[in-house]
Structure 1
Amino acid sequence: MRDTVDRTRRAFWLKHLHRWHWISSAVSLVVLAMFSITGFTLNHAAQIEATPRVARHAATLPAALLRQLADPGRKAAPVDPAVARFVHEKTGAEISGRDGDWSDDEVLVSLPRPGGDAWVSIDRETGEVQYETTDRGWLAWFNDLHKGRNTGAAWRWFIDLFALACVVFAATGLLLLKMHAGQRGMTWPLVALGFVLPLVLALLFIH
């Protein structure tokens, strides 16, 4: 009777562990492959050279809009909507709602992005607008997705959910290993090797 109960319990757990294992692997498969590849490219970033492409655009604010930059008390605030619309129409830069660094002679708006960088500078005396973008290529773009660099809240939430799916995948895999270990004698030595090897490398070679 007890053997029957044990077999029933084992079958129950095997069924559910297999289900969560394949569900979590299906959810994380493509992104796990992407993160593995970009982990390799990040580790060899010095050997994988890229030539950044820089583009510059310029415009000049009309006098009516230039007067809206005359407020001497601003230190970190967005430019007025009319100024932002003008900059967007003339240069393509989207600075609406973005805080700028206000100094005595200019307003500088940083526009960081995955795989590159950008900024807009507005001269508070002459109204000259400079917009510069730097594109470091698709590989840098994927590397920045890996790091979550300048990717916004939606991508950060996605990384968190993906990490949770990987934890479920690893945990269910470990439990499945435990349940099958009796028929596979090398199970725990290999698990121990996977734990000990990076620990030894870190202790011996990372200073």
Structure 2
Amino acid sequence: MTTFNRWARWVHIYSAAPVLLLMVFFAGTGLFLNHSNWSLGQTQESDLSLPLPTDLMSLDWDHESSTTALAVLHWLDHEHQVRGVDLSFEWESEEKLLLLYLDGPQGSYAVEAYYEEASAEVYRRQLPVLEMLNNLHRGKHVSGLWRWLSDLSALCMVLFCLSGFWLLTINTLKRRHSLSWVGIGSVVMVFTIFLMH
């Protein structure tokens, strides 16, 4: 049992250490998400008109719209820093219009690329920093790397809490007092959930 307790202390210390900043991040953004009426800043909107390069005009827009959409996206990323995580597109053959929608935690882009006019209209919606951080908390329009990091931090937080609870139970001097507070907190949470139904 002494060995197990030693391991519990080790897990408690080192499960929190690598994700300490993430724990503070999720707690802070959780507070903002819980108060949606708080002002997080102003959303900025802008638009930009761009001529399409000749190499994009040589593509078969009618029959290879997906290839064209990726080529246009690559050009916008490389030349104009238009970036995001989630991409969707539509090709309207009658109007010769390619619509691109690009979303990320920091905001979104809507792109209208006109084949016959060889031009593109880029509409940008830039979210304030705090709202962007809230999107990271919710896992909205985030990359696979961020999801992996969030899962890792969640696992570490569970280990931190369980090992901390075990360390409370083996502390004979403070066991009764500590477990009373654990019980009170648990009852309040369960009762609050019950009242919501």
TM-score range, shorter chain: 0.7 to 0.9
- TM value normalised by structure 1: 0.80
Render the CA deviation track for 1:6-60: whole Å, top value 9, x for unaligned.
xxx3x32221111110001212211111111100111112222421111221113
Contact 1:113-1:151 within 8 A present in 2 as well? yes
| 1:57-76 alignment runs, 5 A limit | 57-61=48-52, 65-72=56-63, 74=65
Report sequence identity in percent: 24
Residue type at the aligned position of 2:110 = W
Residue in structure 2 matched with residue 143 of structure 1 by the alignment: 134
1:114 aligns with 2:137: no
Instruction: Count residues with an aligned counterpart.
Output: 193
Residue in structure 2 matched with residue 16 of structure 1 by the alignment: 7
Residue in structure 2 matched with residue 102 of structure 1 by the alignment: 91
Match for 2:119 among 124, 128, 140?
128
Residue in structure 1 matched with residue 22 of structure 2 by the alignment: 31
1:79 aligns with 2:68: yes
Q: Which has the larger radius of gyration?
A: 1
Aligned partners of 1:157 and 1:109: how far apart in 2? 27
Bigger relative CO (Cα 8 Å, ≥ 6 apart): 2
Residue in structure 1 matched with residue 82 of structure 2 by the alignment: 93
1:48 aligns with 2:2: no
SS at match of 2:59: helix
Match for 1:194 among 162, 180, 185?
185
Contact 1:54-1:134 within 8 A present in 2 as well? yes
| Worse-matched range after superposition: 152-161 or 100-109 | 100-109
SS at match of 1:185: helix
The alpha-carbon deviation at position 89 of structure 1 amounts to 6.1
Render the CA deviation track for 1:42-83: whole Å, top value 9, x for unaligned.
111222242111122111325663352542574xx2426664
- Structure 1 residues 162 and 85, CA, compared in 2 at 3 Å: closer, same or farther? closer
The alpha-carbon deviation at position 175 of structure 1 amounts to 1.3
SS at match of 2:38: coil
Contact 1:116-1:135 within 8 A present in 2 as well? yes
- TM value normalised by structure 2: 0.84
The alpha-carbon deviation at position 92 of structure 1 amounts to 3.7
Unmatched 5+ stretches in structure 1: 1-8
RMSD of equivalent CA atoms: 2.5
- Structure 1 residues 71 and 39, CA, compared in 2 at 3 Å: closer, same or farther? same
Aligned partners of 1:64 and 1:175: how far apart in 2? 64
